[in-house]
């Protein structure tokens, strides 16, 4: 049992070390391209983007995923990590539903992510 705990500890340390070592590469791509997207599906992805406004600077994260228990709807969450400017009330989460036959986005009034 003690041996397995030791191996799990080594694995966790290795994963943490890889994350720390890959951060400069991620930051370089984000700074040069302006955004980095993980996932190709427009209804399921995570996108990191630079915020470069006159009054604020930082990084934004957009996370799009399927809405729980609701078909043809996605939940989008936007979070901002600013190092310059104020972040009062800027983080948001919303629902977007799509027509099942045409796959066109429905109006916001019809996009409710509760069953």
Interval 1-33: pLDDT, tens: 789 999 999 999 999 999 999 999 999 999 999
Structure confidence at residue 115 as a pLDDT band (50, 70, 90): low
For 27-56, write each residue's pLDDT tens digit: 999 999 999 999 998 889 999 999 988 888
Same domain, 14 and 63: no
Distances (CA, A) of 52 to 14, 23, 76, 83: 34, 20, 21, 11
- Tell me how far apart the alpha carbons of residues 3 and 58 are, in angstroms, rounded to a whole number: 43
pLDDT at 60 over 80: yes
Regarding whether 53 and 23 lie in a shared domain, the answer is no
Over range 77-101, report the average pLDDT: 85
Do 44 and 13 lie in one domain? The reply is no
Grade residue 114 by pLDDT with cuts at 50, 70 and 90. Answer: low
Residue 89 pLDDT > 90: no
Distance of CA 49 to the CA centre of its chain: 10
* The token pair that represents 100 in the structure block: 């099942």
Shared domain for 49 and 7, answered yes or no, is no
Question: What is the reported pTM?
Answer: 0.78
Residues 65, 42: contact at Cβ < 8 Å?
Answer: no
Q: Are residues 47 and 97 in the same domain?
A: yes
């Amino acid at each position: 049992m003690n041996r397995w705990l030791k191996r799990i500890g080594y694995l966790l340390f290795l994963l943490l070390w890889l994350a720390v070592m890959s951060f400069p590469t991620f930051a370089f791509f984000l700074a040069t391209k302006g955004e980095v997207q993980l996932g190709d599906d427009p209804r399921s992805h995570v996108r990191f983007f630079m915020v470069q406004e006159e009054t604020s600077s930082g990084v934004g994260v957009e996370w799009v995923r399927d809405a729980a228990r609701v078909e043809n709807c996605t939940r989008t969450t936007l979070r901002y990590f600013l190092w310059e400017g104020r972040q009062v009330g800027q983080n948001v989460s919303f629902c977007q539903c799509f027509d099942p036959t045409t796959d066109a986005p429905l109006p916001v009034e019809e996009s409710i992510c509760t069953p």
